[in-house]
Structures are given as C-alpha cells and as structure tokens.
Structure 1
Amino acid sequence: MDKKLKADLYRYEGLIGFKGFLKGLRIPGFRYMFFLRMAARSKRHSLSWFFFTRLLSRYSFKYGFQIPIKTEIGGGFYIGHFGPIVINEKAKVGKNCNIAHNTTIGQTNRGAREGCPTIGDNVWIGTGAVIVGRIKISSNVLIAPNSFVNVDVPENSIVLGNPCKIISKNNPCEGYIGSTLEF
C-alpha cells in the first residue's frame, strides 16, 4: 500500500494494517479513494486499469462523487459523508484535507481568476461549500458550511459566508482534523 493510501486509511480507522484496510473498505469515502488511487497508479488500458476504473465509475454513480482520476490529491484525504462532491480534475488538494457532502471545488471560465483552486494542507471544508477560480487556499484553513470562496485565503484562517469573510485564528482546524499520519 502506498503512502497516500496509508494516510487515507489512517484518517478513517486510525489503523494501517490489513485489519484496518478491511474495516476501511466498508466506509464509502475510503472505498472510493482506494479505487481512485489504484486506477491512477495503474497503467492506462491495462487489465487492472479497466477493473479499477469500472469500479470507480460504479461508486461514483452510487455515492455521487465526481473526482477524476487525474486530480492531484494529497494523502490523508477524508470524505466525511457520502453525497454530491465535485472536484475539477485541474484542482490540487493538499494533505489531510476533510471534505463534506454537497461540496464543489471547481473552475471559473472567465475573468481575472480563470482556472481552478489550489488547496493547502490541513484544510477542513464544510457541507455545501463552493470553492472556485484560480485561487490559493493556504494550509490550516477551516471553510465553514455553505461558504462561497473565490478569493485567496491566508494560512490559519476561518472562511465563512457568501460573500466570504476571512477571519484570522491560530489552529482553526483543531478538533476538526484528527488522526493524521505524517509521511
């Protein structure tokens, strides 16, 4: 098992062995990330690639996740609840990121911030949040539920509302992001 997958598993179960892996496969978020990471590692058009992409497609439809194989996602990615989650394939997500259901990390097609977001390490994204445009969400950021984020966010901040309001705070994710595995 690679380092990113171990970090993902540890976020769900606090275990990294075979027993933890079997427990993790029962959790929709880990199951989806396992097949996503395995499909991304497989050589394109190989038998394993077809197998993993087929299962990924099935779970994408079943759980409502739209996360393309090419999306750059760091280890320790945690999907709290299954439901609609959309992440653009050009977005970049750092290590130990929590994401809740009904969340969009998307692209802006025009304007000064045309492009996709880059999200740092240790970011908690609440239910219904929308993050769009070529923006940078720094590390240690908490994005409150139902926030609309289309501006750069500095480190150690809380983002809330629509339009978003940024509040500086030390350790804003303390108590929200748990069980991390450094690699």
Structure 2
Amino acid sequence: MFRQLTPPAAAPRRGALSADLARMYGSFLQGEQTSLSKKIAFLLTNSEFHCVACYRFGRFANRVKRRSVVSGLLFLAIHRIWNRWVTHIHHCEISPRAQIAPGFLLMHRTGVIIGAAKIGRNAVIHQNVTIGQRVSGGDHGLPTIGDNVWVGPGAIITGAIVIGGDATISAGTVLSRDVPAHSLVAGVPGRVVTQNYDNREMLGHVVA
C-alpha cells in the first residue's frame, strides 16, 4: 500500500497534468521531497505516466484546434502517432474526448480502455478496466464518475450511469446502474454491498 500524504489545505489549484504528477510523486515517491534525479527517472521510465500524459496532450491538441485549425491539426497528428504507440505498446487507450479531472492515477496501464466518460478528481484506475458505452438496448450513453473513486482490476463500467463521489468499485465488477456516494460495489451485475465505505487509504495521496 502506498503512503497517505495530505496536501496543504491552502494549496493552489494545479494544471491537470501537474496535479496528476503531484499525485504520482506522492503515491510512489516522496512527494515534494522527491529529488530531481528521481523525478526525471520517473518521467522517463514510468509507463503509466506516459499513458496519462498522452491523454492530456490529446485534450490540449483539441483545445489548440478550436483556436487555430492549422496548428491544431499538427498537434492532433502528433497525438495520433503518440496514441497509436501507447495503444500498441502499453495496451492502454484513453479517448481524448474523455473528461478526466486532475489527480488521475493510473495504477496499472495494461488493458485499460476509457471512452468519452466524465471522471472526477483523484480517480484511481487499475488494469483491465473498461469504461464506456453499454451499446446493448440502444444505450449509447457514457458513465459519469464522481471525485475520489477507486476502480479495481477487471471492472467494467458502462452506460449512462452516475457513480457518486468516494465510491469503490471492486475488482471484477460489471456495473451498469447508478451508485450512491461512499458505496462499496461488487459482483456481476454490480450491486452495493456496503454503504458509508471509507476508501481513503485505497486512494493514497490526493490533490486538492
């Protein structure tokens, strides 16, 4: 289990990628006390960070395109090439149409597929997780996931459902229904097994 570090109450809001990095440093290294050499090594070698950075770059490229078509197309081409590498080498695909708030922590990259869902701050996603459309029954909606949600390995979350903040989705859960905040969900199909579940230790270091 990684260490729990609490950010200062008055800490200013960071940019999305900066907040993602701060969370990774706090979870896996020594937070703000991490040496520059360790930070550089992390940036160069951590595949989970590379996947998150590629997603953030895709969001940036789309913003550039709205301001300048020519510049935007250049950045989108770079993202397309980078994303193809991430998809084939790391087996992780995060749509740039997904709206993922700062503090995104990808614990294990392999098999992660995230469509154009909305995901709140300080999300934790493990390996082999799928978040996207349900498709069956004509449901092309996408999930909306609150802040501080932990999603375990092998979970599948589909459809136009709402998952409340501080919820915990257990490994192997197949979820296609709304989940109230602070719930522990498990099973196939997923159902609430515990209410008022405290997932703070599982989340590890969080950012404001």
Q: Distance in 1 between matches of 2:137 and 2:82?
A: 37
Q: Which amino acid aligns with 2:183?
A: S
% identity of equivalent residues: 30
Gaps of 5+ in 2: 1-13
Does residue 156 (structure 1) correspond to residue 182 (structure 2)? The answer is: yes
- Give the drift of 1:127: 0.5
Change (3 A) 1:21 1:37: farther
Q: Which residue of 1 aligns with 2:58?
A: 39
Change (3 A) 1:74 1:100: same
Q: Distance in 1 between matches of 2:43 and 2:193?
A: 35
Q: Distance in 2 between matches of 1:11 and 1:24?
A: 13
The equivalent position to 1:123 in structure 2, one of 126, 141, 149, is: 149
With structure 1 as the length reference, what TM-score do the two structures score?
0.88
Q: Which amino acid aligns with 1:181?
A: V
Q: Which residue of 2 aligns with 1:10?
A: 22
The equivalent position to 2:161 in structure 1, one of 135, 158, 174, is: 135
More strand by share: 1
The equivalent position to 1:84 in structure 2, one of 96, 111, 132, is: 111
Change (3 A) 1:13 1:24: farther
Per-residue CA deviation, residues 51-107 of structure 1 (Å, 9 max, x unaligned), is 343222211211111111121111111111121111112x11111000011111120
With structure 2 as the length reference, what TM-score do the two structures score?
0.78
Q: Distance in 1 between matches of 2:139 and 2:80?
A: 32
Aligned residues: 180
Q: Distance in 1 between matches of 2:77 and 2:184?
A: 41
Gaps of 5+ in 1: none
Contact 2:133–2:139 (CA<8 Å) still a contact in 1? no
Contact 1:35–1:53 (CA<8 Å) still a contact in 2? no
The equivalent position to 1:64 in structure 2, one of 91, 114, 139, is: 91
Q: Which residue of 2 aligns with 1:30?
A: 49
- Give the drift of 1:113: 5.2
Q: Distance in 2 between matches of 1:73 and 1:21?
A: 23
More helix by share: 2
Q: Which residue of 2 aligns with 1:175?
A: 201
Q: Distance in 2 between matches of 1:135 and 1:113?
A: 10
Q: Which has the larger radius of gyration?
A: 2
- Give the drift of 1:112: 8.0
Q: Distance in 2 between matches of 1:21 and 1:170?
A: 36
